[in-house]
Amino acid sequence: MSNKLIYATEDYNSGLNMVGSLVYTGSNYIYSGTIDTVTQVKNALGESSTSVGVLCSSSKINKWAAFKSGKWGYNTNFETGVFEWVASTDGFRLGDFIGYNHNAKPPVYYVDALPTTLSVERWTNSSILVKLARGEMQPVVKTYSGICSKNQIDIQSIVGTGVSAIITHQRISVPVTGSYSYAVPVLTDYNTTVTIKPTYYVDMTHGDYEDYSVIEDGARTVNVVVTPVAVTGSMFGIPENQTGGNPIEASILWGLTRTVASAKNIYLRVYPVGTGIALNYSDIVYVQLTASGSANGSLPLTILSNTGASTSVQIRMEISDTYDFTNKMIVVTKSFTWTNPAGVQ
């Protein structure tokens, strides 16, 4: 049997312990712990061996558990967020695992995964929700004047890269229990990246923010893709599979539905594409979309084959928030097969 006192923090939850028995001493988060079987460690790690040496040097040890065997390696770098855990090679002690939680999270961690890509409507406000909570162990960082704390976090949002990057800061308090959510605002009119970089320290001595340590759960990068407008669309009147006939005169019925609660004005056009098909745009229609509303209409379209060769023709409905369609988006496509077009013009 192994006995020891373990010194926890306010974030440690003894109810999640998987190894040994814990009795709270009544003060300062100190527990009296005992363990009398190696099987608990074996089961907690998911190992097949009952050798103390094998268990203490296991690669399956969760480095974020407050109580475990091993130590931080030389490659651990608090400034870049690299945290290497090195298993024990000698001096194996089963008691090191008393209080071990195999499901422990990093000292501060993301509760929900951030999106890899965020679609943002041009010239509108959007946000990236960052939700942070605290794990059971202390930050693995170098301290400065005793201010090491996982309570105060600076959420940096870095829009863009290089010298043109725009960096903003928001200092938050992550609670002992539960989580804290902060919506990082995104307002842009071009495709970019946003890097979310929570850090432990904020130095206000000179009125500036200074990074001391990124949280162990690391920075995250979100690709921001700007679209002209948030809509869904429909398109009817597309010719059925066709044999002969050139050109084809069609009347395209279009519909747009606004999917967010704000009005928007856009431009719309339709056109055909395909091997040997002339690029022929319809008239440009100015569409006023009400908040979460719909609009519809029709447009004449001439579909012309320049070769007479059979092909698959795709009709595209395209929208833009500018008349010159420099910032455009294809909303709907429909296709038909055109066999042996005749009367090449």
CB under 8 Å to 282, separation ≥6 — which residues?
252, 269, 270, 271, 299, 300, 301
- Both 123 and 223 in one domain: the answer is yes
- Both 75 and 113 in one domain: the answer is no
Look up the CATH number of the domain holding residue 173. 2.60.40
Last residue of a domain, one of 97, 124, 157: 97
> Structural domain of residue 32, as residue ranges?
2-97
- Both 207 and 117 in one domain: the answer is yes
Last residue of a domain, one of 208, 227, 246: 227
Alpha-carbon distances, residue 307 vs 271, 313, 345 (angstroms): 18, 13, 9
Nearest to 168, CA basis, from 150, 152, 151, 187: 187
- Both 220 and 268 in one domain: the answer is no
- Both 144 and 79 in one domain: the answer is no
Alpha-carbon distances, residue 165 vs 146, 160, 195, 221 (angstroms): 32, 5, 10, 13
According to the model, what pLDDT value does residue 3 have?
86
- Both 205 and 236 in one domain: the answer is no
Strands 192-199 and 220-227: antiparallel
The token pair at 170 is 């928001």
According to the model, what pLDDT value does residue 201 have?
72
Q: Is residue 102 part of a domain?
A: no
Provide the terminal-to-terminal Cα distance of the chain, rounded to the nearest Å.
95
Q: Is residue 103 part of a domain?
A: no
- Both 82 and 136 in one domain: the answer is no
Question: Residue 228, preceding bond cis, omega within 30 degrees?
Answer: no
Q: Is residue 146 part of a domain?
A: yes
The DSSP call for residue 209 is -
How many CB atoms within 10 Å of residue 128? 19
Element (DSSP H or E) covering residue 56: helix 52-56
Query: In which residue are the tokens 């339709």 written?
Result: 270
Q: With a cut of 50, which residues of the chain have pLDDT below it?
A: 345
- Both 200 and 147 in one domain: the answer is yes
The reply to whether the predicted model has a pTM over 0.85 is no
Domain count, the chain: 3
Q: Is residue 296 part of a domain?
A: yes
Name 185's bridge partners. Answer: 127
- Both 208 and 238 in one domain: the answer is no
Look up the CATH number of the domain holding residue 284. 2.60.40.3880
How many CB atoms within 10 Å of residue 249? 10
**Residue 185 CA to chain centroid, in angstroms?**
14
